[in-house]
Amino acid sequence: MEILKVNPLSPKDLEELGLSWHMDTDNTSYVSDEIIEVTEQEAQDYYNATNELYDMYIEAGQYVIDNRLFFELGIPFNLIEAIEMSWAEEVHWHLYGRFDLAGGIDGKPIKLLEFNADTPTMVYESAIIQWAMLKKNGFDESLQFNNLYEALGDNFKRMITLGDDISNFGAIYEGWKILFSSIQGSEEEENTVRLLEVIAKEAGFKTDFCYAHEAHLDESLGLSYAEENFEFWFKLIPWESIATDEPEMATLITAMIRNKNTIFLNPAYTLMFQSKRMLKILWDLFPNHPLLLETSFEPLANKKQVKKHAFGREGESVSILDNAGNALIVKEGNYGNYPEVYQEFVDLNTYNNSFYQANVFYAYEACALGFRKGGEILDNLSKFVSHKIK
């Protein structure tokens, strides 16, 4: 790996850019003072791999629907109908997601670790901070695999055109409105949602923001806030959290989808993709595919492996097991009640005893590369690392 030590963005720089969550709990900067150099071919390989993986997820999603494998994915029963309805109608458009990948540098094969398809973080860092890091250090800002901002704007338009041709967006746009919401109390989530709102507004939509508890959902009348109705609701609340923590909301949302008065972003079907147990379905459908790691609902025999759960974030409730199934590294967490999944272990890219994981955003197509740096299990103390193309 080729890593450049560079001048970091100062706390003032980051706050002026809107990144208020720039200090980790150990009082170190969340944004690394490094830039990873990749070749044009490596960037192209990340692009190609992510596009192929998304197509595979679409095929696997249809397989889950056809064979009703929701229980196998750990999906709560009270969202199954919402998933099926959102899958069946194209108007429920997947806005964006983020693939976590191992390899891709120094000739190491790219391997899928998981897909954050519902509420992925790192939008701000990938779309804004990487660009600022290059500019701060005198590099050409175009030397990145990174058009996330533009791709999101185009994909907002595709929610209306329902296809790749967005040139006639203005002709069919009828003043559709999107309400953007986050949970009150998280600066990162709120600023991420507000950035998405800015992108949607620039794309031509009428928008507003409120905290999730301020939005009014009605089975018959749809979504409203401040006496105004909205056709779309972008809510940065994981679907599995709605199902388990807000079951009445899950029932209400299902009724609203059934009555076709509100479209929810990201769609309910992204919960299938979000489930790490989908990795086993992919392995069943595409055995020994070069982008996949062997994955099972049961411990793998005689292989070093990673034990995960159907849902989880920031490395919580993840363990690395040796060939005999003994735990080598354990990260405790709050996701242990979800069913397990076992994935073949693969080394991350390494440099000076640190581990680097590639992250590629997908918004209609692969559109942005970034990296995270940390231990063998990346957790909430991992650092964001920018990249540049040589």
pLDDT tens readout for residues 297-315: 999 999 999 999 999 988 8
Residue 30 sits in the same domain as residue 118 = yes
Residue 64 sits in the same domain as residue 209 = yes
* Count of structural domains within the chain: 2
Residue 134 sits in the same domain as residue 259 = yes
Residue 150 sits in the same domain as residue 217 = yes
Identify whether 282 is part of a domain.
no
Taking 80 as the threshold, does the pLDDT of residue 20 lie above it?
no
Identify whether 112 is part of a domain.
yes
pLDDT tens readout for residues 330-339: 999 999 999 9
Residue 52 sits in the same domain as residue 92 = yes
Mean pLDDT score, 71-88: 97
Identify whether 375 is part of a domain.
yes
Identify whether 288 is part of a domain.
no
Residue 355 sits in the same domain as residue 256 = yes
Whole-number average pLDDT of the chain: 94
Identify whether 227 is part of a domain.
yes
pLDDT tens readout for residues 193-213: 999 999 999 999 999 999 999
Q: Sort 332 into a burial class: Cβ within 10 Å, 0-12 / 13-18 / 19+.
A: exposed
Mean pLDDT score, 176-197: 93
Residue 152 sits in the same domain as residue 18 = yes
pLDDT of residue 187: 85
Residue at which a domain ends, from 328, 344, 360: 344
Mean pLDDT score, 245-267: 97
pLDDT tens readout for residues 221-234: 999 999 999 999 99
Question: 204 vs 160, 168, 171, 178, 341, CA distance in Å?
Answer: 11, 13, 12, 11, 42
Identify whether 145 is part of a domain.
yes
Parent domain of 307: 294-344
Identify whether 285 is part of a domain.
no
Identify whether 130 is part of a domain.
yes
**241 and 72 Cβ atoms separated by less than 8 Å:** no
Residue 155 sits in the same domain as residue 93 = yes
Mean pLDDT score, 178-197: 93
Residue 318 sits in the same domain as residue 374 = no
Mean pLDDT score, 65-93: 97
pLDDT of residue 21: 66
Residue 331 sits in the same domain as residue 230 = no
Residue 209 sits in the same domain as residue 323 = no
Q: What percent of the chain has pLDDT over 90?
A: 84
Taking 90 as the threshold, does the pLDDT of residue 381 lie above it?
no
- Give this prediction's pTM: 0.95
Mean pLDDT score, 71-94: 97
pLDDT of residue 277: 98
Residue 224 sits in the same domain as residue 238 = yes
Q: Is the peptide bond before 326 cis (omega within 30 degrees of 0)?
A: no
